[in-house]
Amino acid sequence: MESVEYRKINTFDDGRGQYKYYPNKWLVLEYKYNRGKIILQNAFDKEVIINTISTWKTDPYTDKDDANLSASYVGPS
């Protein structure tokens, strides 16, 4: 079974500013170009997909990051 990886975006530039209004938890769909770029899907709105973003503009998402999400987006424990 393939593992699931989540990331959070740390740099919203290059026309990506609209994504900062979504909960900052993103599912990695695919790595490209020797892991230099990634395709992300928002963890809460599956229709929101970022086709490519540089990996350095993201950080690994941890359980501690759930505390920073709006209460309306935190799933059941």
In this predicted model, what pLDDT tens digit does every residue of 11-44 receive, in sequence order? 998 888 889 889 999 999 999 999 999 999 999 9
Domains of the chain: which residue ranges?
6-68
Return the amino acid letter for 47: E
pTM of the model: 0.83
Other C-beta atoms lying within 10 Å of the C-beta of residue 7:
21
Q: What percent of the chain has pLDDT over 70?
A: 87
76: CB partners within 8 A, 6+ apart? none
What is the model's pLDDT at position 27? 98
Q: Which residue has the tokens 């026309």?
A: 15
